[in-house]
């Protein structure tokens, strides 16, 4: 801390409460600021506020979704298998392995509209699907 700041701090320590109050009012008037405690934010608090705001925005702005095939009823397996092959472009064996090992991600990082359409297609043939 430089000499000038140290001198000011020492002088502030010697002020009475009335003098300190008058000083605050004069600083507020001179610099057009408000010294109320609600106006002050520490660097740590500011960083914390910015992080929370950033995380809230990232949650609100989610643009990619995963479609997860959760349940395939035994009596609907063939219909679901055909739909999975159409959606994914997988071969018969790969699609069968995927359908047999549910729950499994079917598509990753797709748009909300695409995810909703895939879910609709699979549910129409009897599968249970979750969008994550």
Domain positions in the chain: 3-59, 65-131
Residue 63: name the closest of 107, 108, 106, 111 by CA.
111
- Please, what is the average pLDDT of the chain? 83
Interatomic CA distance for residues 121 and 113, integer angstroms: 12
| Residue 62's pLDDT band (cuts 50, 70, 90) | confident
Q: What percent of the chain has pLDDT over 70?
A: 80
Query: Residue 24: its pLDDT value, please?
Result: 86
User: DSSP 3-state assignment of 128?
Assistant: strand
Q: Does domain 65-131 have CATH number 3.20.20.70?
A: no
What's the pTM? 0.53
């Amino acid at each position: 801390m430089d000499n000038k700041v140290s001198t000011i701090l020492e002088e502030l320590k010697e002020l009475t409460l009335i003098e300190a109050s008058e000083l605050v009012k004069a600083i507020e008037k001179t610099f057009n600021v408000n010294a109320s405690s609600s106006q002050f934010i520490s660097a740590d608090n500011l960083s914390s506020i910015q992080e929370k705001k950033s995380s809230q925005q990232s949650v609100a702005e989610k643009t990619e979704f995963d479609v997860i095939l959760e349940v395939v009823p035994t009596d609907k397996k063939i219909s679901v298998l055909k739909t999975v092959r159409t959606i994914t472009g997988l071969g018969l064996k790969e699609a069968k392995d995927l359908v047999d090992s549910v729950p499994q991600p079917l598509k990753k990082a797709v748009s909300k509209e695409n995810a909703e359409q895939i879910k609709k297609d699979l549910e129409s043939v009897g599968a249970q699907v979750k969008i994550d």
